[in-house]
Amino acid sequence: MPDSVLRHVVLFGFKESSKPEDIQKIVDAFKELPSKISEIKDFEWGTNSSPEGLNQGLTHAFMVTFHSDADRDTYLPHPAHKEFVDILGPHLDKVTVLDYWTKP
């Protein structure tokens, strides 16, 4: 583990019309990316359980960890990532993405 890592925080909210099985397919497809993109060094995800009501319509959180900006820059246009975005797109209502460097 390096001294610092790059966290890529991805939050999604889905359309009212999207079915649970559509959302499950998206989650499953995202979970497949670490096996397809070696630049992903860590991956975790979960659904919102905050009691604060500040999730702004976002219900699913994913945290992808990289060890360099270059690895993140390889990930974004990677064919496997683009395939995922194609699956996601029709169901996406809201999205928030922040990247930050931190000491793990």
Under the binding rule (CB under 8 A), the answer on residue 51 touching a copy of itself is yes
Under the binding rule (CB under 8 A), the answer on residue 11 touching a copy of itself is yes
Three-class secondary structure of residue 72 per DSSP: helix
Q: Quote the CA–CA distance of 36 and 23 in Å, as a whole number.
A: 20
Stretch that binds a copy of itself, among 22-30, 33-41, 55-63, 77-85 (CB under 8 A): 55-63
Cα–Cα nearest to 83, from 27, 18, 30: 30
Strand partners, 95: 12
Among 20, 49, 77, 89, binds a copy of itself (CB under 8 A): 49
When the beta carbons of 20 and 103 are compared against a copy of itself, the nearer one is 103
CA 78: distance to chain centroid?
Answer: 14
Contact positions vs a copy of itself (CB under 8 A): 6-9, 11, 44-52, 54-56, 58, 61, 63, 69, 73, 76, 95-104
